[in-house]
Amino acid sequence: MTKKLSLTPYLFLIPALLVIAVFVLYPIVAVVYYSFTDYSISTPPEWVGLKNYQQLMKDPIFWQALSHSLIYLIVTPTLIFLSILLAIVVNRKLPGIHAFRALFFIPAISGSIAVGIAWRLMLDTNGIINGTLLSLGILKEPIQWLAEPAYTLPIAMMLTTWLGVGYYMMVFLAGLQNIPEELYDAALIDGCNVWQKHRHVSIPGLRPQITFVAVISSLAALQVFNEIFTLTGGLGGILNSGVTIVFYLWRQAFRLNHAGFASAIAMVLLVITLAFSIMNIRILERGTEAD
C-alpha cells in the first residue's frame, strides 16, 4: 500500500512559515552577517571579518555588562520563592481573596516603562522613600539612590521582581489548585505540620510550573532593558553600574551607531540564551521522566 502525499497540511503551514521566515529567520541571518561588518545603520555595511568579536573580547564594559546580566539572574530564584509564597497565601477560600489576587496581579499588567518612571520618582532625592526614611529618623540626609553605583543593579532587580511576582503567582496558583486535596489529607494523617505539608506536597506538585517559571524568568532577566533605561535616565547608571548586556547592545547600536558591533553582542547573547534554554529543557525532560 502506498501512502498518498497530501499537500494540504503544508499549504496551511505556509502563512505561519512565511511570518517566521520574515520576522525571525531573516533578522537572525541578517544579525549574523552584520556582526562581521562595520555598520552604522544609516550607511551600508562594510565587511570587517572577526574584528567586532576581537574587539568584544577586549572590551572591559562588555565583560562588566555580562557579569551584571549574570548577577541579574538572582531575580529568578527570588521570583520563584516569592511567587510560590504568595500563591500559597492566596490559595485559600477566604472572603475577598479574589480582590487580593487581582491586586497582586496589577504590576504584571502595568507597563514596565511607566512603572520604572514611577519608581524613579519615588527614589528621587526628594522622593517618597527618602521622605519616609527621613521622617522616621532612619536617615539624616537624603540618599541619591540612583546615583550610587552600589544600588543601581539591586534597585533594578527589585523592580523586575515586583513587576513579575504577580504574574508568576498566578502560574503557581493554577498549579496548586491542580494538586489533589487527598495528598494534603494524607500528609496531615502522617503528622506533617504546615511547613512540611508544603515542603513534601506543594513543592513537588509544582515542579512543572517551577521549571517553566525558571526558564521564562531567567530568559527575561538576561534580556532586561526597560527597567535599566527608565531608572537611569538612559545612562546605564553611574560608572556603568546598571549596564546589562542588552542595554550595552542598545547603547552601541543606537547611541554610538555601531550596529555591527552591537550585532556581535547580540550573537553572544543568542549563544547564552540558547544554552540556557537547552539546559532548562533538559532539566524539564529529566524531571518529567523521573515523574
What residue ranges bind another protein (CB under 8 A)? 40-43, 61, 124-126, 144, 146-147, 149, 233-235, 238-240, 254-257
Q: Which is nearer to another protein, 234 or 287 (CB)?
A: 234
Q: Which is nearer to another protein, 43 or 177 (CB)?
A: 43
Q: Which is nearer to another protein, 104 or 229 (CB)?
A: 229
Please, what is the minimum distance in Å from the beta carbon of residue 274 to another protein? 27
Please, what is the minimum distance in Å from the beta carbon of residue 120 to another protein? 9
Q: How far apart are CA 125 and CA 112, in angstroms?
A: 22
Distances (CA, A) of 245 to 128, 228, 255, 273: 31, 11, 15, 12
Cβ–Cβ under 8 Å, residues 127 and 231:
no
Q: Which residue has the cell 521582581?
A: 161
Q: Which is nearer to another protein, 26 or 254 (CB)?
A: 254
DSSP 7: S
What burial class does residue 99 get, using C-beta atoms within 10 Å of its C-beta: 0-12 exposed, 13-18 middle, 19+ buried?
exposed
Please, what is the minimum distance in Å from the beta carbon of residue 42 to another protein? 4
Q: How far apart are CA 72 and CA 224, in angstroms?
A: 8
For residue 47, the cross-strand partners are 37
Q: Which is nearer to another protein, 28 or 41 (CB)?
A: 41
Please, what is the minimum distance in Å from the beta carbon of residue 73 to another protein? 26
Please, what is the minimum distance in Å from the beta carbon of residue 248 to another protein? 12
